[in-house]
Every structure is written in C-alpha cells, then in structure tokens.
A and B are shown apart, each in its own frame.
Chain A
Amino acid sequence: MKPSVPAAPALDALPAVRPDRVPLMLLPVLVLAALPLTGSLSTWVTLTFAGLAMGMIIFIIASGLTLVFGLMDVLNFGHGVFITLGAFLATAVLGRMTGWTESESLTRNLAAVLPAMLAAVVVAGLVGLAFERLIIRPVYGQPLKQIMITMGGMIVGVELIKVVWGPQAIPLPLPAAFRGSFLFGEAAVEKYRLIAVVVGLAVFGAMSWVLGRTKVGLLIRAGVQDREMVESLGYRIGRLFVGVFVAGSALAGLGGVMWGLYQQSVTPEMGGQINVLLFIVIIIGGMGSVGGCFIGALLVGLISNYAGFLAPKVALFSNILLMVAVLLWRPQGLYSVVKR
C-alpha cells in the first residue's frame, strides 16, 4: 500500500468494478465462426443445440466442484461418484415407473422424471454430507492426502454402487414424450436437448440469484475471495462449506440423471470418465468461478460437437487443446477469482 493513502473514502466513492466481458464474447464468436465451417444452417442449428445441451449438463455437474475448491481449496477427485449415484438412482426410480414413462402424456412423464431427479438430488446430497464428514474433513489443508483420499473415496463409492446395482451397464431410456425432435425449418433439434438447455439455464439462474442476491451467496462469494476475512467477521466458514459441498453433490446427482438420460445408459464407470472433462472445465473457467465454469462448460460442449462433426479425430483431443489455448491466453483461467 502506498504511504499517501487518502482518508478512508466514502462507500459510494468506490470505483465500480468493470465487468470483464471478453470471455463472454467467446461463445457468440465460436458459434458464429462455426456457421460457415459446418456449411448448412440446419446442421449448424442441430450441432449448436447439441453442444449447448452437453455444456449445460456439464455445468450443472461442475459448478459445485469449482465452488468447493474456491471456498476451501478442496478439490474433490471423487466428485464423479455423485454423478454415477444420481444416474443409477434414476434407473431405479424410472425402472419402477415404466407405465408412466412409456405413456405418451407429458404430465405422466414429468411425474416420473421429477421424482427421479428429486431422489437423485436428495440422496446425492446426503451422501455428500457423509462424504464430507468421513473423507474430506480429516484432511483439510493437506492437499496431497486430499487428492489421494478423495480418489480412494471414489474407488469405494464405485465399488459400493457395483454391489447394489451390479457392474454392468443399465439402459436408461428417455420417457416417451421426451423422445424425437422438434423441426425448425430443416433443422432437427432433439426434444431432450432443448429440455437440458432449459434445466441448465434454470440452474444457472437459480445459482446466480443465490450467489448474487442473497446473504448466503454474498458470504460464499466473499469466502471464495478471502476466507480469513470472512471468518474474522464472525461467520463460520466451515458450516458454509459443508452447505456448499452438499449442494454441489446434490447438483452432481441431478447432472448424473440428466447425463444418464442423455447417454440413455449408465455404467458404474461413467463418473470417473467424466471427471477429466470436469477438471478441464473448471481449469478453463478459473478455479472457483461459477461464471467461468458456465462459459467453460459451454465452450467444451460446443467445441466437442463442432469438432466431432468437422474432424472426428481432432474431437478426441479438442478439450485438451481448448484448455491449452485458454491457459496460454489467461494462465489463471477465464476468470481468476481466488486470491491465493
């Protein structure tokens, strides 16, 4: 700090933080750049929606991971287990309601899917609570042990899932009304992708509201920026952290249901496979930033769909290439919020 600091300025004199909109521009730029490459408008619309849907689901899963890291420097390598759990719960719930999922009526389908999602959210949240107590709490502040123990938690979790549901893949068909596509002119957009986009936007909206407009959200954001300052103001950041961890696990469960329906089949390994993708997304977004995570997830979803169409071989590496490119541009990720 300079020695000649003026007397404490009045609150309203604080310069407004100029929002950093450059990363936001990446999305429209990417989407527009893909238009001439894909050649036809209808393909482009289909691919864009597929990318957005995939990105939204990834965002739902990854948002909790990035917030948990931002708050407590805890990176849960076992996050994938909540995804798998959510997806398997969905097969259990929907499997018992085939009468309703197979009926053509949208209300009945929803009446089957919503309880499945609710079950996934509640159970994943509760398991998250136990996971935090048993696995993560004993190793706060020890990154080495934390990496290993969350990995161990994942191994045990996946094996337990295999104990309950067996090691084989289980089909998870979409409810009847969600199948098929809407036609916009020549472009076909699968109904389920549209639903995924809507749910993803809803989650993002709700999360933005909680983080931006409520006191809890204010504390979480402050905690991500400077944990000790929030603690010294008398708030128990530990409790806040448990809450965020549980919410993150619950969201991963919800994301698992959506991902399972997207893939139409679930395997015990699905969570582990998606883990790498999640890490790439939160690194791209900047560890701890929800906005960055949102943009990162959409970028990953869009690019892997465009690349899958234009150059299938490249698509296998598109995420890594994207991460390298972003890190060369901004080494801390798109938005750097963690001041440590």
Chain B
Amino acid sequence: MILHRLFSGDFPRSRVLLVMLLAIVAGLVLTPFIFPGAKALNVAAKACIFIVLVASFDLLLGYTGIVSFAHTMFFGIGAYGVAIALSHFGPTWAGVAAGVAAALAVSLVLSLVIGLFSLRVKALFYAMITLAVATAFQTLASQLSELTGGEDGLTFKVPELLSPGFSLSEHPFLGVSLDGRLISFYLLIAATVVLFLLMLRIVNSPFGRVLQAIRENEFRAEALGYRTVVYRTLSNVLSAAFATLAGALLALWLRYNGPDTSLSFEIMIDILLMVVIGGMGTLYGSVLGATLFILVQNYLQDLMKFASEGLGKVPLLRDLVHPDRWLLWLGILFVLSVYRFPTGIVGKLRTAARKS
C-alpha cells in the first residue's frame, strides 16, 4: 500500500526491468563502499543528476510529445543560479536557497514565454525556435563574463557541510572516510529519489493523463474540452523547473559551472539519446538510459581502446572502434531505436513481460 502510494501505482511491470532498476539503485547507493576512488563516485553522481534531467525531459518529450532543444538552457540556468549566488554571497545555505529560487524564477518566466509564444505552432517550428533561443542563451552566458565568468566559468565554495574538508568523524566507516563529499553524495541521492518520485506522481495524475492524451491525439483532447495550449505550456514549465533543479544539483556537486558543463549543445544531444534509448514516455526509461549512457561515456572508451589496439593493423576498422568514436555507436543505436523500438528498452521489456 505504501509502495503503491510512493510509486503512484506505476510499477516497472516487468521482472527483468525490476531487477535492472534494483541493480542500478543498489549500485548507485553503494558506490562509495563497493567502487572505491573519486572517478566512480563522480560517475555515480553524474548518473543521478542526469536521471533527474532526463526524466524532466521525458515529461516533455515522452509524455507530452513536444521536442524542445532548449532543455539544457534550463539546466544551465539552475547551475548558474547556484554558481552565481555562491560566488557572490559566499558559501552559505541562504546563498544556495537564493540561487535556486532565482534560477527557478528565471526558468519559470522563460519557459512560460517560450511556451505561450510558440507552443501554438507545429512541432517542427517549436524545435527550431527552441534551438535558436538556446543558442542565443549560450552566447549570452559566455558574453556576460562579469556575472557568469564567461568561457572560464565560475569556481566557488559550497557550504561547509558539503565541502571535502569537512569531516563527520575521525574513524572511517567500513573503510570509507565520512567527509563532506560523502554527505554531498547521499544528499544528492536523496534529492534524486524525491524528485523522481515527484515526477512519477505528476505523470500518473489526472493532469499527466491529459498530457498523454495530447501526445496521442491533440485534436481529440481539445475536442474533449481540454485547453491543450494551457496543458502544453504547463508541461513545458514543469519540465523546465525540474531541469533547473537538476542544474542546481550539478553545480553543488561539481563546485564549478561553465558553459560547457551545463549549457552546451552536446549535452542536449546526450539527453535526447538517453531518453530515446531508455524509453520515451516511461520515467523508468530515464533511469536506464541515463545510467547506461553515463557508464558507456566513461567506461566504454576503455573497452574500445582495447579493441582498437587489438585491431592495430586494420586501418578503417581500427578508426571505427577508436575510443573517441563512442558517440558513433550510440548514435547508430539511437537511430535504430527511433524506428525499431521507439519505446526504448523499457517498452521492449514491458512488451515481453506482457506476452509471457
């Protein structure tokens, strides 16, 4: 019963999927204990942040059927909000709160304006407009260097509890020192869980049903009496707000923010790939997609390096598996997913579970 309320009645509905999700959650939560080293912790933290970010994009793309290329803009606003507040007011919790609040306000206004102006038009047009706006915003962020630090970005201190120098106890627990990094990590995990469950709640509410109705058939939803423009705009605003929060988490974790870490178009492409490979229209897909992508991004290169060295003699094939070409293979997987299995991994697993 409690589980039912917690997950808003939307369970994985596939045994394989459940096992995979449990493995991912366990792996992320226990990372500091089972995978020692700073790299593993960073990868796990990045996976958490991207789970929130990708889920918020799925709210828009998978549930409402809107393609926006301005999602990293909101991600960046969140990250810059925290970064600017903390570097101007010093490392206090009030600074964090002010930064997040200001970022949310900016995202709210921007997403509302973009939504009202351009959600009335066709999907293609909206995609183009958001692409143009996001590019302009990126230029703006790198130009306002007094505020944003320009291309170099901002490095800042976080509140003491989260900083690496802070220590909870002299004695390490199970071989892991209880420092600020660890506290940050678990706060990040907690935030991820809360935000994810909140989004799960939203998509399974009556409001979420209307969004899905609009995705399936906008004309019919309108004929039923729903003001589709209002719902689409709200969906846009909500997804922007969650992306902003993800951005704030990113900035707090990295203690740095610059245009390339949160605003670049590469991240936008990455999110798109994560959503589609994981499965559009299923929030669980974002967990799978984001984790898989981050793992591939960080560890596939090692594997490919191995393969590339093995193929030392074969010229073209060697370049195809060159460690820097990992995006090629994910891109091919992406194209195949879009028309072979548009519901992604989660959709495939659920269909398989329903058949058996």
Contact = CB atoms under 8 A, between A and B. Distances in A.
B131 A276 contact: yes
A146 B67 CA distance: 11
- B61, B327, B339: most-surrounded residue (chain A CB, <10 A): B339
A163 B328 contact: yes
Contacts of A153: 335
Contacts, number: 92
A27 interface: no
Interface string B316-355: 1001101011011011101100110010000000000000
Given A75-B124, A156-B331, A313-B143, A163 B338 contact: no
A69 B331 CA distance: 24
A212 interface: no
Interface in B233-288: 265, 269, 272-273, 276
Contacts of A149: 335, 338-339
A146 B339 CA distance: 10
Given A75-B128, A145-B342, A279-B128, A156 B67 contact: no
Interface stretch (B38-46, B133-141, B165-173, B193-201): B133-141
Interface string A160-194: 10111001000000000000000000000000000
Contacts of A316: 136, 139, 143
B333 to A, nearest CB: 9
Contacts of A283: 125, 128-129
Contact of A320 (B61, B136, B316): B136
A151 B131 CA distance: 12
Interface residues of B, number: 39
B124 A163 contact: no
Nearest to A320: B136
A138 B339 contact: yes
Interface string B105-139: 00000000000000000111101110111011001
Contact of B338 (A69, A75, A152): A152
A155 B338 contact: no
B332 A148 contact: no
A145 B128 contact: no
B265 A147 contact: no
Chain A, interface size category, equals 35 or more
A23 B37 CA distance: 63
Given A276-B131, A279-B128, A320-B133, A163 B322 contact: yes
Interface in B72-122: 122
A159 B325 contact: yes
Nearest to B316: A163
B328 A320 contact: no
B265 A163 contact: no
8 contacts: A151-B269, A155-B269, A156-B331, A159-B328, A162-B325, A276-B131, A276-B135, A283-B125
Interface of A: 69, 73, 75, 77, 135, 138-139, 143-149, 151-153, 155-156, 159-160, 162-164, 167, 272, 275-276, 279-280, 283, 313, 316-317, 319-320, 323
Given A144-B61, A151-B269, A163-B316, 12 more contacts: A75-B127, A135-B335, A148-B276, A152-B273, A152-B334, A155-B334, A156-B332, A163-B320, A275-B131, A313-B143, A320-B132, A320-B136
